[in-house]
Homo-oligomer: A and B are copies of this chain.
Amino acid sequence: MQSHLEDLYPTRISPEPVWQERKVPVLYPGYSLPSPLSAEQARQFEEEGFLVLPRIYSEEEVAIFRVEVERLRTDPEIRASEKTILEPQGEAVRSVFAIHRDNPLFSRMASDERIAGVASFLLGGDVYIHQSRLNYKPGFTGKEFYWHSDFETWHAEDGMPDMRAVSCSILLTDNTTYNGPLMLIPGSHRHFIHCVGQTPEHHYQKSLRKQEYGVPDHASLEKLAERYGITEVSAPAGSALFFDCNIMHGSNSNITPFPRTNLFYVYNHTENTVQDSLLTRLPRPDFVAESRNFSALEIRPERFV
């Protein structure tokens, strides 16, 4: 690790949006043998920046996860925790952070080879969890998440050097086109869009409820959407969605009665650990971005029933 790493993606500095090309590969092939993905799946992830693996968890496993999610969502202690984020203008729980550390069940899941094995394959080596959370988008009142690149935030606010991280979302409810599913711009992961405006101190407390900084400009979003189109992720409960850390994504609100609940794990390569030297502000708290324990996950097959 270098002590004065060069900032390869200097976002939130220029008064005008800047486009930059990605500097590292999307896929680091040849690492894991046998591959957990087909050649076609690997190619799709590389080109489009995301991949859905349908129903990798059984109905019985999903039922167990949902019971635990419901327990967390209604536990007054969890609700009062600083690691829990509520909906803007509401009291409903939106996210619970650091579930890979605090929750025994979801900690085991983080190491499960069905997801961690895929992350390690995509990133070409040892991985650790940069961030984990449970996302609960309730029925009737679920609000939108505006467009963003996760890497833009993790780079600017956590000091993540480069794009060698992948998110894995485990769907615990069916995701349809109408209950506020994740929307992705496939191909956008190859471009880094500098965001305009500086990051205020303690930004994370507000930004996890409603994004105001690190927001891409309208013209860039129009250009990306015109060029690549928009894909909505529709998949049944038990499916996993992997998406590149730099893909542009967001979601609309959810007025349907059907909640959208998922578990979210960010795998980062152990050679891409966050660097304080890249930050101009205080780092975000440890439950949002791992800043101490970068030891590689021990990946193993887990069974939950």
Point out the residues of chain B lying under 8 angstroms from A178, CB to CB: 177, 183, 230, 232, 252
| A272 at the B interface (CB under 8 A) | no
Point out the residues of chain B lying under 8 angstroms from A140, CB to CB: 218, 221
Q: Give A16 to B252 CA distance when docked, in angstroms.
A: 31
Contact check, A253 vs B144: say whether CB atoms are below 8 A apart. yes
Q: How far is the CB of A243 from chain B (nearest CB, A)?
A: 16
Q: Which of A106-114, A194-202, A255-263 makes up part of the contact surface?
A: A255-263
Find residues 262-295 in chain A having any chain B CB closer than 8 Å to their own CB.
Answer: none
| A84 at the B interface (CB under 8 A) | no
| A147 at the B interface (CB under 8 A) | yes
- Chain B: CB-nearest residue to A256: B230
Point out the residues of chain B lying under 8 angstroms from A149, CB to CB: none
| A246 at the B interface (CB under 8 A) | no
Contact check, A257 vs B180: say whether CB atoms are below 8 A apart. no
Point out the residues of chain B lying under 8 angstroms from A218, CB to CB: 139-140, 257
Point out the residues of chain B lying under 8 angstroms from A177, CB to CB: 177-178, 232
Interface of A is mostly: loop
Q: Give A257 to B230 CA distance when docked, in angstroms.
A: 10
Given A177-B232, A180-B252, A183-B178, is A258 in contact with B144 using a C-beta cutoff of 8 Å? no
| A10 at the B interface (CB under 8 A) | no
| A254 at the B interface (CB under 8 A) | yes
Contact check, A225 vs B255: say whether CB atoms are below 8 A apart. no
| Interface-central residue, A225, A251, A255, by most chain B CB under 10 Å | A255
| Interface-central residue, A183, A226, A257, by most chain B CB under 10 Å | A257
| A75 at the B interface (CB under 8 A) | no
Given A252-B253, A253-B253, is A225 in contact with B180 using a C-beta cutoff of 8 Å? no
Find residues 157-179 in chain A having any chain B CB closer than 8 Å to their own CB.
Answer: 176-178
A-B contact pairs, 27 of them (CB 8 A): A139-B218, A140-B218, A143-B253, A144-B253, A147-B255, A176-B230, A177-B178, A177-B232, A178-B183, A178-B230, A178-B252, A180-B252, A183-B255, A183-B256, A218-B257, A221-B257, A222-B257, A225-B257, A225-B258, A230-B256, A250-B255, A251-B255, A252-B252, A252-B253, A252-B254, A252-B255, A253-B253
